[in-house]
Amino acid sequence: MRRRTFLGTATAAAAAAAAAALGARSAGAQDGAVNVLLVLAVDVSRSIDEGEARLQREGYRNALTHPMVMEAVQGGMAGAIGLAYVEWSGVEYQRLVLPWTRIASRADAEAWAAALDRAPRTSLGWTSVSGAIDFSRRALAEAPWQAARRVIDISGDGVNNSGPPAEEARDRAVAEGIVINGLAILNDRPVSGLLPQMPVGDYYRERVVGGPGAFLIVVEEFESFGIAVRRKLIREIAGSAGPDAG
């Protein structure tokens, strides 16, 4: 399968609308400054059906606009974050669904959420956590702002079964000062009848998350995904460290 990294017309228009909506910033914040650069890297491999993919996107849309998340966004020195949204499956497929957007106000968050709602969805292929990490590293390198903290937020329901080992990609990212947090989803639907050799929670803990203050949240079912995403975003945006919350 040929690698596809295109951004559809509808997605591009939605992303442009989100970027144009950037408005109010907290008092004293420097123009263009952000507290953290955060890549949301979301699994869309074959084990995730249409309903589960919808729940994932709803989880991120609802989380970003939640008052507690917005409080964390505006509570930092810059009063803003830089956000990019990536979907990934096998080693040949990673896609920048929404490009870098500066979120500094409720209006920014709502415009971003609306853009994500309009973006086309795809579900296909195997699972390459390593591909997702490497793609997210490149996205961070191309971010239009500088930030003291750079974070990759990986969410998925399976172990790496496509491309190089995930821990190799993790170690490259951590060596560049990037923190990788994980949101492991327990899903009883294996790809092509293959069961993972290691529980996905253990796999993410041992081979995916890394860097100072990195953490993992384990989600028992897709229905609780939205609450987990909100908890995760608050910790990532505020920069709070601590033990696994799974």
The confidence band for 20, taking pLDDT boundaries of 50, 70 and 90, is very low
d(C-alpha 22, C-alpha 114), whole Å: 13
What is the C-alpha to C-alpha distance for residues 167 and 163, in angstroms, rounded to an integer? Answer: 12
- Residue 46: inside a domain, yes or no? yes
Give a yes or no: residue 6 inside a domain: no
Give the contacts of 155 (CB within 8 A, at least 6 positions apart): 40, 41, 42, 43, 56, 182, 183, 184, 185, 229
Domain interval for residue 67:
34-238
- If one counts the domains in the chain, the total is 1
Q: Does residue 209 form part of some domain?
A: yes
Model confidence at 122, in pLDDT bands (50, 70, 90)? confident
**The pLDDT of residue 210 is above 70:** yes
Residue 231 CB neighbour total at 10 angstroms: 16
Phi-psi region of 28 (alpha: psi -120 to 50; beta: other; left: phi over 0): left
> Would you place residue 100 in the very low, low, confident or very high pLDDT band (cuts 50, 70, 90)?
very high
Residue 10 inside a domain? The answer is: no
Q: What is the mean pLDDT of residues 210-215?
A: 97
Q: Are 21 and 108 in contact (CB under 8 A)?
A: yes
The reply to whether 14 falls in a domain is no
Query: What pLDDT, on a 0 to 100 scale, did the predictor assign at position 196?
Result: 55
Which CATH number characterizes residue 155's domain? 3.40.50.410
**Most confident region among 14-23, 26-35, 52-61, 229-238 by mean pLDDT:** 229-238
Confidence of residue 28 (pLDDT cuts 50, 70, 90): very low
- DSSP assignments along 39-81, one per residue: EEEEE--TTS-HHHHHHHHHHHHHHHTSHHHHHHHHHSSSS-E
Segment 75-84 mean pLDDT = 96
Between residues 190 and 233, the one the model is more confident about: 233
pLDDT of residue 47: 85
pLDDT band at 55 (very low <50, low <70, confident <90, very high): confident
For residues 120 and 237, give the distance between their C-alpha atoms in angstroms, rounded to a whole number. 27
Q: Which helix (H) or strand (E) holds 132?
A: helix 129-141
Q: Per the domain annotation, does 245 fall within a domain?
A: no
Q: Edge to edge, what strands does the sheet with 149-156 contain?
A: 94-103, 81-88, 36-43, 149-156, 179-185, 216-219
Which whole number is the average pLDDT over 69-83?
96
Let me know if residue 12 belongs to a domain. Answer: no
Residue 88 covered by a domain: yes
Q: Cα(209)–Cα(182) distance, rounded to whole angstroms?
A: 6
The rounded Cα 195 to chain-centroid distance in angstroms is: 25
